[in-house]
Chain A
């Protein structure tokens, strides 16, 4: 009576969610667990793995290249947060102004960059930030009398290119998030504030910002992960995982270098576990803090 069993109301829900359970176990739980296990082993593809205890972690703590990568990822994350949260929020508020012409048209134009793949966008930015006199950015700077800059050879200038790429791709999307958040704020609040004589700045800090908090927390959460896990942007900008003096190396880039390029999978797994811990710690702190602030409101 297998058919009756499968068609019963008690069993049917499990049949519906079964694909998720399978994918979750095979492609998430198992890899995560094996990643954890691998981080205590010396693993080379096609060979027997050997337990090495916490060797990978102790080696990692003395690895200056790893700390360079962590620093780069952290810097990238912080810069994207500092730029890609306040500005899109402010721009969304301006765009939401009742005197705005062509709002829908601008909204779609700002969304265009998000449609491109990182491969295409990264290639274009690599060429725009090229070191020749005639390369786009240098040719603009040249009209102000600035000598051509080798953008991708320096730490600061390399990061300018990287952040420009990130800002270009995500400004419009984050604006959309804030715009849809703004639609949930009742207009009466602003009218009441106007009657009480509140200024535009007061309305922004006292009404808009607090009521946009759910959207802000969402954008913050996804931006923290995206920032810490960034890799392909750097890979495309420097055309590979080897930037001069590792100026563009990120945590995932280092994981990729050790795991795939050097076939040092155990060590790379330890890098992944450290990344997971950093990401979890930052986001849980962030969520706890925003929850605490909520009580004070």
Chain B
């Protein structure tokens, strides 16, 4: 056997084993979603593939039963869409301001963008909580959307992207009689389009999976997002496991579908900050 073949086989086997280990939890949830919740309580979550207890009851219950799952699902969907749209719109605009102009206080302001990325959000939880309470925004989606509308990481990414666009384009636009905002809307936004994919995915993923802050703000069950709803199903009595497991399984699917379709953007978005370091 040649050295090359040996290297190929060792590498492949190593990563295949690692891959199987990583996929086990997914497999476990998938199998469990076909078993009665009672089975899970009694025997625990395991990989046993037992056709005598496996059936589609949980899925039938998910789609036809009386529960709030799809209310939560559509709340999450709506919130994610609104959040992504607003965040991209606002952050792109701010990034353009930083990239296209030289103005007094620019460096200081940009330092603030970097500062936001360095302070853990968790520290702000309590003051934000009291602020939300005092503004009467408890139990509203605005309280979830507003603090994240100018996302530092997104601004940073867009600014990097825009710094590659020659300023002559902007000057040419002005010569043609476009206003400052016209230049941005008609000339720059179309050029920026390719960079929106990665940030849409990154922000969408964060929003879809966002838990702690919405959990603190929302108290009305009909306003819950999917992660909050699923969390409430996890009771010590295990009486909701039928819905919990199949609901968890189903909540991963939209993100998986998106990942499969737009893998390039996911990876670009996740690694955006790392390369420039």
User: Interface residues of A, CB < 8 Å — how many?
Assistant: 101
B238, chain A: closest CB distance, angstroms: 10
In the complex, what's the smallest C-beta–C-beta distance from B219 to chain A, in angstroms? 12
Inter-chain contact A134/B127, CB cutoff 8 Å: no
For window 74-133 of B, CB contacts with A under 8 Å fall at: 90, 93-94, 96-98, 100-101, 103, 106, 109, 112-113, 116, 118-131, 133
Chain A: minimal CB distance from B23 (Å): 7
In the complex, how many angstroms separate the beta carbon of A18 from the nearest chain B beta carbon? 8
Residue of A nearest to B212 (CB): A232
The 8 Å CB contact of A215, one of B109, B205, B274, is B274
Closest to A118 in B: B211
Residues of B within 8 A of A31 (CB): 124, 127-128, 131
Q: Assess the B277–A225 pair: CB atoms within 8 A.
A: no
- A218 within 8 Å of B (CB atoms): yes
B54 within 8 A of A: no
Interface residues of B, dominant DSSP: helix
Interface string of A255-280 (1 = CB under 8 A from B): 11001100001001100110110010
Whether A97 sits at the interface, judged by CB under 8 Å, is yes
Interfacial chain B residues near A272, Cβ < 8 Å: 122-123, 125-126
Instruction: Report the nearest A residue to B208, measured CB to CB.
Output: A117
Q: Which residues of B contact A34 (CB under 8 A)?
A: 127, 130-131
B209 touches A118 (CB 8 A): yes
How far apart sit A260 and B180, CA to CA, in the bound complex (Å)?
46
Question: Given A232-B212, A255-B126, does the pair A113, B22 have CB atoms closer than 8 Å?
Answer: yes
**B residues less than 8 Å from A239 (CB atoms):** 234, 236
Q: State the Cβ distance, A208 to closest chain B Cβ, in Å.
A: 16
Q: What's the minimum C-beta distance from B190 to chain A, rounded to whole angstroms? A: 17
Q: Check A32–B124 contact: CB distance below 8 A.
A: yes
A114 and B118 CA atoms in complex are apart in Å by: 21
The answer to whether B7 touches A35, judged by C-beta atoms less than 8 angstroms apart, is: no
Docked-complex contact B270 and A173, CB < 8 angstroms: yes
Say whether A28 contacts B124, CB under 8 Å: yes
Taken together as a complex, chains A and B put the C-alpha atoms of A219 and B271 apart, in Å, by 10
A172 within 8 A of B: yes
- The CA-CA distance from A121 to B126 in the complex, in Å, is 26
- Picked from A100, A114, A128, A218, the residue with its CB within 8 Å of the CB of B273 is A218
Q: Does B252 lie at the interface of the complex (its beta carbon under 8 Å from any beta carbon of A)? A: yes
B18 within 8 A of A: yes
> Is B181 an interface residue, CB under 8 A from the partner?
yes
Q: Are B116 and A28 in contact (CB under 8 A)?
A: yes
Instruction: Report whether B275 and A138 are in contact in the complex, using a CB–CB cutoff of 8 Å.
Output: no
Q: Which residues of chain A come closer than 8 Å to B106, judged between CB atoms?
A: 13
> B263 in the interface, Cβ–Cβ < 8 Å?
yes
In the complex, whether A281 has a CB less than 8 A from a CB of chain B is no
Q: Is B189 on the interface with A (CB-CB < 8 A)?
A: no
Given contacts A24-B112, A239-B234, contact A19 B150 (CB under 8 A): yes
Q: In whole angstroms, how far apart are the Cα atoms of A268 and B124 in the complex?
A: 11
Query: B63 interface residue, CB < 8 Å from A?
Result: no
Across the interface, do B123 and A20 meet the contact criterion of CB distance under 8 Å? no
Also in contact, A30 and B131, with CB within 8 A (given A115-B256, A120-B251, A168-B25): yes
Complex: A102 Cα to B14 Cα, angstroms = 12
Bound-state Cα–Cα, A133 to B46, Å = 10
Q: How far is the CA of A10 from the CA of B180 in the complex (A)?
A: 10
| A276-B119 contact, Cβ under 8 Å, with A101-B8, A116-B209 | yes
* Chain B positions within 8 Å of A99 at CB level: 4, 7-8, 11
- The answer to whether B40 has its CB under 8 Å from any CB of chain A is yes
Q: Which residue of A lies closest to B275 (CB)?
A: A180
Whether the Cβ atoms of A109 and B22 lie closer than 8 Å is yes
Q: A13-B97, A109-B23 are in contact. Are A268 and B126 (CB under 8 A)?
A: yes
Q: Give the complex CA separation of A109 and B271 in angstroms.
A: 16
User: With the chains together, A233 CA to B261 CA distance in Å?
Assistant: 29
Is B192 positioned at the interface, with any CB of A under 8 Å from its CB?
no
Contact with A along B252-277 (1 / 0, CB 8 A): 10011001000100110011011111
The reply to whether B180 and A279 form a contact with Cβ atoms under 8 Å apart is no
Q: CB of B147 within 8 A of chain A? A: yes
Pairs across A and B, CB under 8 Å, 12 listed:
A13-B101, A21-B109, A28-B124, A94-B15, A118-B209, A118-B211, A120-B251, A128-B28, A184-B275, A252-B125, A256-B125, A272-B125
Which residue numbers of B lie inside 8 Å of A, CB to CB?
Answer: 4, 7-8, 11-12, 14-15, 18-19, 22-26, 28-29, 32, 40, 42-47, 90, 93-94, 96-98, 100-101, 103, 106, 109, 112-113, 116, 118-131, 133, 146-147, 149-150, 155, 179-181, 184, 205, 208-209, 211-212, 216, 226-228, 230-231, 234, 236, 244, 248, 251-252, 255-256, 259, 263, 266-267, 270-271, 273-277
A13-B101, A136-B45 are known; give 11 further A-B pairs, CB within 8 A.
Answer: A17-B109, A22-B150, A32-B124, A94-B14, A118-B227, A120-B29, A180-B271, A214-B277, A232-B211, A279-B120, A283-B118
Report the 9 A-B pairs with minimum CB-CB distance, sorted nearest first. A16-B97, A214-B277, A135-B44, A31-B127, A117-B209, A13-B101, A127-B45, A12-B180, A134-B43
